Amino acid sequence: MMLALNEIRRGLGRFVSIIGALSLITFLVLTLSALADGLFFGATGAVRSTNASAYAFSSDAKGSLIRSTMTPEQVREVEDAPGVTKASGVGVLLTAGRGPSEEYDLAIFGVDPAGAGVPTNLSEGRLPADDSEAAVDESLGAGIGDTLTVGKESVEVVGITRDSSYQLQPTVWTTLQTWRSMRNDVRPEFTGVEDDVNAVAIEGSPQGEIPGVTVLSAQDTGLAIPGVEQQASTLNSIIYTTLAVAALVVALFFALIVLEKRELFAALKALGTPTRKLGAGVVLQAVIASAIGVVVGAIASRALGAVVPDTVPTLFRTETLISIAIFVLVAGVVGAAFSLRRIARIDPATAIGGTL
C-alpha cells in the first residue's frame, strides 16, 4: 500500500492521463444516463406515477395507449376480473391547447378522480373535483387558477403534479367527461364511439384472461410507449460499451505501467515482496484513479446539467450516479486485473545479473 499510494502521490503526472480518461468516460456515461433517465421518465410519468398497478388494453393495440380502444363492456369485464380491486377507464388525447399567455402541446388524460390511474405526485393543490377543473404537470409551467382551453372546452388548473408527463409532453388530468368533449371537438371522427375509452387503469393484481384484452403492468405499459424501450436500449448499449471501453483503457494503462516497472517489480520480488502485494497495489491504484475519475466526471456532468436548456430532457438521479460510480470502479478493477498475470509472470531472478 505504501508503494501504491506514494507512487500516485509523488508521480501524479503519470496518473493524470488515466484519471483524465476515467473522468471523461464517467462524464459521458453520466450525461448519457441523465438523458436516458430524462427521456424515460419524461415519456412514462403518466403511467408510472399513478395509483394504477397495471393497465388493460385492447389486444390489437400492442400496449399502446393511443391505439387501444376499450368498449364500456370490456371496461366492466376488467372491473369484474378476479384480483382487480379498482378499475377505471382512461382516455388519452395528444393535442394543442391555449394557456393564459401561450400555446402548448398537451397530453390530455381523462380519468376518474376517485378511481384508478390518477397521478399520485401532487406537489400543489388537488385533483379535479368536477368537469371544469384539471391538474397539470409542472412541466407545463402553468399555475393554480390559470385557464387552459382545448377546442371549445376550458378547464381551470386546481393542482400541479410532478413526474407525470407523457411522451415528453405535459399532461392535463381532467375527468373522462371533459376529455371526451375535448376529443370530440378536435377529432370529430370519433363521433359514434363516444363511450369508448383508450385503456383501463387497474388497482390490484388481475388474474386470468379476458378475451380481446391485454393486461400490462404499469412498468411494461411505460416500456410499450412508442420509442421508450428502443431509446432506453440504444442509450444503455452505448453506456455499457463506454464502460467496457473504460475497463480496456485501464487495462492498457496498467499494462504499460507494469511493463515499465518490470525491472523494479523483479527487484521488489527478489527483496521478498509477495506477488499478491504488488497486485493489490495495482488494483488499489486503479480504484483510486477510478474514484477520482468518478468524482471529477460527476461534477462535470452536473455542471453541464445545470446549463443545458430545459428543452433537453435530462434527469440526474442519485441512484443512477451510485450505480454508474460502482460500474466505473468495477471497470477499473477489472481492467487492472488484466495486469495481475503479467505481474505474476515477472521472475525475481531477473533482478540479479543486471543485463536488463
Partner 1 sequence: MTNDDFVPAHAGGEDPTTDACSHAEAILRVQDVSKVYTSGDTEVHAVANATMAVDQGEFVALLGPSGSGKTTLISMIGGLLSPTGGTITLAGTDVASLSKKELTRFRAERVGFVFQSANLVPFLTARENLLYVSTLQKRIGRKEAHARADQLLEELGLAQRAKNVPEQLSGGERQRVAIGRALMNDPDLILVDEPTAALDTKLGRQVVELLAREIKQRGKTGIMVTHDLRMVQYTDRVFEILDGHLTHVEQPSALAH
Q: Contact region for partner 1 (CB under 8 A) — 6-14, 176-184, 213-221, 228-236?
A: 6-14
Residues 42-81 that bind partner 1 (CB under 8 A): none
Q: Does 10 bind partner 1 (CB under 8 A)?
A: yes
Residue given cell 376518474 in the structure block: 112
How far is residue 252's CA from residue 2's CA, in Å, rounded to a whole number? 23
| Residue 264 lies near partner 1 (rule: CB under 8 A) | yes
Q: Is residue 295 at the binding interface for partner 1, with CB under 8 A as the rule? A: no
* Residue 268 binds to partner 1 (criterion: CB under 8 A): yes
Among 51, 69, 120, 273, binds partner 1 (CB under 8 A): 273
Residue 354, interface with partner 1 (CB under 8 A)? yes
- Terminal-to-terminal C-alpha distance of the chain: 26
Interface size with partner 1, residues (CB under 8 A): 23
User: For residues 147 and 256, what is the distance between their CA atoms, to the nearest angstrom?
Assistant: 66
DSSP secondary structure, 314-339, as one string: ----HHHHHHHHHHHHHHHHHHHHHH
DSSP 50-107: BS-SEEEEEGGGTT-TTT--B-HHHHHHHHHSTTEEEEEEEEEEEEEEE-SS-EEEEE
> Per rule CB under 8 A, is residue 2 in the interface with partner 1?
yes
267 binds partner 1 (CB under 8 A): yes
Residue 17 as a binder of partner 1 (CB under 8 A): the answer is: no
Please count the residues of the chain. Answer: 356
Which of residues 269, 290, 340, 346 is near partner 1 by CB under 8 A?
269
Q: Which one-letter DSSP state was computed for residue 212?
A: T
Check binding of 349 to partner 1 (CB under 8 A): yes
Residue 263 found at the interface with partner 1 (CB under 8 A): yes
274 binds partner 1 (CB under 8 A): yes
* Shortest separation between residue 15's beta carbon and partner 1, angstroms: 11
Q: What CA–CA distance (Å, rounded) separates 198 from 225? A: 14
Q: In this chain, which stretch among 105-113, 115-123, 195-203, 346-354 interacts with partner 1, using CB under 8 A?
A: 346-354
Instruction: By CB under 8 A, name the one of 193, 271, 306, 307 that touches partner 1.
Output: 271
Query: How far apart are the C-alpha atoms of 180 and 187, rounded to whole Å?
Result: 10
Residue 268: CB minimum distance to partner 1, A: 7
CB of 275 to partner 1, least distance (A): 8
Does 209 sit near partner 1 (CB under 8 A)? no
- d(C-alpha 196, C-alpha 249), whole Å: 57
What does each C-alpha distance from 331 to 21, 30, 273 come to in angstroms?
A: 13, 15, 27
Pick 129 or 352: Cβ nearer partner 1: 352
83 binds partner 1 (CB under 8 A): no
Question: Residue 271 or residue 306: which is nearer to partner 1 going by CB?
Answer: 271
Q: What is the DSSP string of 100-167?
A: SS-EEEEEEEEE-TTSSS-B--EEEE----STTEEEEEGGG---TT-EEEETTEEEEEEEEESS--BT
C-alpha cell, 164 = 407525470
Contact 104, 116 (CB under 8 A): no
16 binds partner 1 (CB under 8 A): no
* Under rule CB under 8 A, residue 18 binds partner 1: no
List of residues contacting partner 1 (CB under 8 A): 2-3, 6-7, 9-11, 263-264, 267-274, 348-349, 351-354
